[in-house]
Structure 1
Amino acid sequence: MKPELLEVRSRELRFLFELKKQSSCSVQMINKTDQYVAFKIKTTNPKKYCVSPNAGVMDPNASCEFSVTMQAPKVVPPDMISRDKFLIQSTVVPEGTKEEDVTSNMFVKEEGKIVDEKRLKVIFYPPDSAESSPVNEPLKQMDNNESRELKDDTVHKSSARPTVAESIEVPKGDGESVEVTKKEESHNKRKEKDVVKKVEEPVKPSQEYAKRKEEFAQINNIDEQTLAKDVEAMKSKVKELDSKVTEAKATILHLSEEKRSVTQEKHSLQGELDLVRSRRHRAQVGFPMLFVFMVGLVSLYLGYLLHN
C-alpha cells in the first residue's frame, strides 16, 4: 500500500449554484510527513474553474488551503449534477524546492518514486437549501426509500397485530355480541386497508423542491430566449460584415484596374517623352553642322570673287 503524503479534509467541492454568479469554495490539505511535499491540482474542465494556488510546496507537517472559483454558469445542468472532477497530485521533493520549480514531470509515476493522488468531485446546491444536504441527492429517491420503509413497517405491524375478532372471545348463542364483534372486525380491516393504500401511494416531491425546479426551468427558458436573440443578432452582424467585405473587394478590384490603366498611360507618356527628347537632341546636333556648311560655302564664294 502506498503511503499517504497529504491529508485532504474534504473529498467534495461544494458550490453555491446561482445563474450568472460566481461561486467559490476552499479545501484544506495537511502534510503528514517529515519531508517537503510538492502538490499540483488538475481538473477535467479548466476553462470553468480557477484554482489558486494550483501548485506549490508544503513544509513538513504543515497545512495549507487552496480555493476554487467556478465561473458564472449560464445553463442549469440536468438534475443539478456535475460531472467535473479534480485531481490532487503530491510527491516528495528536496528541501529548497520553490513553487515555480513545480512541473508536471515531477508527478510522473516511476519505480521507487512515491506519487500520491486524491480525487475530488463537484457538488452543486441551490441558495435556499442547507449546505449539509447536497442537491444532487434527488429528493424523489429519498422519498421513495422512506415510503418503502414505511410500507414494510406498516405491513409488518398490521400482520403481527391480532384483529378484534381473534382477541375477543364471544359466547355462542349471543347474537348481539357476535354482530358487534363482526362490525368491529370489518371496521378494523377497512382501516388497515386505508393505511396500506395511503402508504403504497407514491410520495410526491416537496412543494419547495417542485417550485425550485420550476424556477430553474423558467430561468433556463429565459436564458435560451436571450441566447437565441444573441444568435440572431450575431447572424445579422455577420451578414452585414459579409456585405461590407464584398463591397470592399469590389472597391479594391476597381482601384486595381484604375492603377493598372494609370500605369499603362504613364508608360506610354514616358515613351512619347523619350521620343521627343531624342528628336530634340538630334535637331540640336544637326543645326551647327548646317551652319558650318553654309559658312564654308559663303567663304568659298567670297574667295572666288576676290581672286577674280
Structure 2
Amino acid sequence: MSTGELLNVDPVELKFPFELKKQISCSLQLSNKTENHVAFKVKTTNPKKYCVRPNTGVVLPRSTCDIIVTMQAQKEAPPDMQCRDKFLLQSVVASPGIAPKDITPEMFSKTPGRVVEECKLKVLYLPPPQPPSPVLEEPDEGVSPKVSFDSGNLNGSEVIARQNVDSDDKSSEARSLISKLTDEKNAAIQQNNKIRQEIVRRTPEAWRQQKSRGRGLDHHCHCYRVDWSTFGVPLEE
C-alpha cells in the first residue's frame, strides 16, 4: 500500500497470472482520507496493451474507488517473465461537486501553487495457477480391497489354492442343481398322487371298468411321469 497526502493506493504492484492468449485483470483500490474531493488520472507506458476502467474519476471525501486494469491477450511470453511496463497514478484536490466528465488534463499539470500527488505502480507477471493434484480415493471402512488373480504371477501353492476354490464353487453349484431337481421330482410325485385321488373320487365306475380290462390308473397318469434318470437323479418307487 502507498500512503499519500490525498489517497491511499492498494496495491502498488499490479500482479497478473500470465497465460498466453487470455485476457487477465487485476484490481486497484483508491481510498480518500481527506475531507476534499480528489480527482485522479491513471497513465501507463503501454496504453495499447492495457485497458484501465475508469482511467479518470473523482473519489469523494472519506470514500473509496475501485479500478480494474485488464491486460490484453498476449501471443508470446516475455523473456524470463519480466515486465517493464509501468503505471502512474496522479491525484489532485478538486472543487466540491466536480463530475468525472469535468476532469481535464490541465488539472494534473504541475504549476506553482498546485500540488499533484503521484504514485508509481509496477507490473509483475506470475506463473499461471497449477491444477490441483489428484487425490487417491481411500477404500471405505470395513471393505476389503479387491484382489485380482493372475495365474502367470502365482507360485505353485497359490495355483493349487485357486484350483481348490474353483472346485468348491463347482461342487456347490452341482449340489444346488441336485437339490432343485429333487424338489421338482417330489412336487411331481405329489401332483400325480392328487390326480390319482381325483380320478378315483370322480369316476369310480370308469376306474373299475378300466381295471377289468387290464388297464390300471397308470394309463391315465402316464403323461405325468417324469424320467428323472435324465437328470442323474434315481427314481423313488
User: Shorter-chain-normalised TM-score: which range?
Assistant: 0.5 to 0.7
Write the mapping of 1:43-62 to structure 2, written as runs, cut at 5 A. Answer: 43-62=44-63
Write the mapping of 1:188-199 to structure 2, written as runs, cut at 5 A. Answer: none
Name the amino acid aligned to 2:49: K
Name the amino acid aligned to 2:75: K
What's the counterpart of residue 11 of structure 1? 12
Instruction: Tell me by how many angstroms 1:43 deviates.
Output: 0.3
What's the counterpart of residue 135 of structure 2? none
CA distance in 2, matches of 1:32, 1:114: 16
Name the amino acid aligned to 2:90: Q
CA distance in 2, matches of 1:58, 1:30: 8
* Structure 2 unaligned residues grouped into runs of 5+: 131-237
What's the counterpart of residue 31 of structure 2? 30
What's the counterpart of residue 102 of structure 1? 103
Name the amino acid aligned to 2:125: F
Tell whether the 8 Å contact from 2:17 to 2:129 is kept in structure 1 after alignment: no
Superposed CA deviations along residues 85-124 of structure 1, whole A, max 9, x for unmatched, are 0000000011111101111110001111111000100001
Name the amino acid aligned to 2:18: F
Instruction: Write 1 or 2 for the structure with the bigger share of strand.
Output: 2
3-state DSSP class of the match of 1:95?
coil
3-state DSSP class of the match of 2:76?
coil
Percent of residue pairs bearing the same amino acid type = 57
Instruction: Write 1 or 2 for the structure with the bigger share of helix.
Output: 1
Superposed CA deviations along residues 244-267 of structure 1, whole A, max 9, x for unmatched, are xxxxxxxxxxxxxxxxxxxxxxxx
Name the amino acid aligned to 1:50: C
CA distance in 1, matches of 2:109, 2:31: 22
Name the amino acid aligned to 2:65: C
Instruction: Tell me by how many angstroms 1:59 deviates.
Output: 0.8
User: 2:114 aligned with 1:113, yes or no?
Assistant: yes
Superposed CA deviations along residues 170-226 of structure 1, whole A, max 9, x for unmatched, are xxxxxxxxxxxxxxxxxxxxxxxxxxxxxxxxxxxxxxxxxxxxxxxxxxxxxxxxx
Instruction: Tell me by how many angstroms 1:61 deviates.
Output: 1.0
Write the mapping of 1:275-290 to structure 2, written as runs, cut at 5 A. Answer: none
Name the amino acid aligned to 2:104: T
Superposed CA deviations along residues 70-90 of structure 1, whole A, max 9, x for unmatched, are 000111101000000000000
Aligned residues: 129
Q: Give the ranges of 4+ consecutive aligned residues of structure 1 lying more than 2 Å apart after TM superposition.
A: none
What's the counterpart of residue 235 of structure 2? none
Write the mapping of 1:265-304 to structure 2, written as runs, cut at 5 A. Answer: none
Instruction: Tell me by how many angstroms 1:128 deviates.
Output: 3.3
Superposed CA deviations along residues 30-74 of structure 1, whole A, max 9, x for unmatched, are 011110000000000000000000000111111011000100011
User: 2:69 aligned with 1:72, yes or no?
Assistant: no
* Structure 1 unaligned residues grouped into runs of 5+: 130-308
3-state DSSP class of the match of 1:79?
helix
3-state DSSP class of the match of 1:88?
strand
Name the amino acid aligned to 2:36: Q
3-state DSSP class of the match of 2:98?
coil
Write the mapping of 1:239-250 to structure 2, written as runs, cut at 5 A. Answer: none
3-state DSSP class of the match of 2:106?
helix
What's the counterpart of residue 85 of structure 1? 86
